[in-house]
A and B are shown apart, each in its own frame.
Chain A
């Protein structure tokens, strides 16, 4: 499809396990963003990629969170040793370039539940 694609759409895992969330941005979009949407916290920025580099990682909540992007396209967000407070919807967005005037286009998100 033409939009941002995220997988899986739902993930249930046990506390302490590692999880990987995938984002496939709109073709040609050089900027990619990860956000987290959780009850009580609203929408929080996690990390921003321009191409394969991440000039802004300021939103990653702890060193258990990491992300990478390869080939200027697909990105993976990894959470190690998951905790219950990691339960949230993880959203990926992309935009044509790193310009704050350009709107970001969102995927449907991955709903992560930590048991």
Chain B
């Protein structure tokens, strides 16, 4: 079946550090891929998405590229801020149905 695996947290970085959160997936066909973010005390928000191979999603300085050959959708940011502290979820949506399949989430802690 379809599944998403993302790196376990928490990930702790200093401000202005480079961030990578790994995400790999298993799916039949060509799913759509998403990163959602959950800030402390808030609901889930879409961060970025990519719907086909080699697409790059980007938002708020974050980027992720849909890599079909490695079945990956790693999240990157060149210089993180304290305000980026949150839990990040990688998810996929297969074209055969519409539910989101979620990774376990990665808690990111940015220290000033």
Contact = CB atoms under 8 A, between A and B. Distances in A.
Whether both chains belong to one complex is answered with: yes
Interface of A: 31, 33, 35, 42-45, 48, 56, 59, 91, 93, 95, 98-101, 103-109
B68 interface: no
B13 interface: no
25 contacts: A31-B98, A33-B100, A42-B105, A43-B100, A45-B99, A45-B100, A45-B101, A48-B99, A56-B97, A56-B98, A59-B99, A91-B44, A93-B100, A95-B98, A98-B98, A100-B94, A100-B97, A101-B51, A101-B93, A104-B100, A106-B43, A106-B44, A106-B45, A108-B42, A109-B43
B111 interface: no
B98 A105 contact: no
Contacts, number: 56
A107 B38 CA distance: 12
4 pairs of A and B residues whose beta carbons are closest in the complex: A100-B93, A45-B99, A43-B102, A108-B43
A102 B22 CA distance: 23
Contacts of A44: 102
B24 interface: no
A100 B91 CA distance: 11
Interface residues of B, number: 25
Contact of A42 (B36, B43, B104): B104
B43 A107 contact: yes
A109 B41 CA distance: 11
Interface in B45-92: 45-46, 49, 51, 89, 91
A91 B44 CA distance: 9
B28 to A, nearest CB: 13
Nearest to A31: B98
Contact of B49 (A33, A93, A103): A103
Contacts of B99: 33, 45, 48, 56, 59
Identify the interface centre among A91, A98, A99, A107: most chain B CB within 10 Å of its CB: A99
B20 interface: no
B34 interface: yes
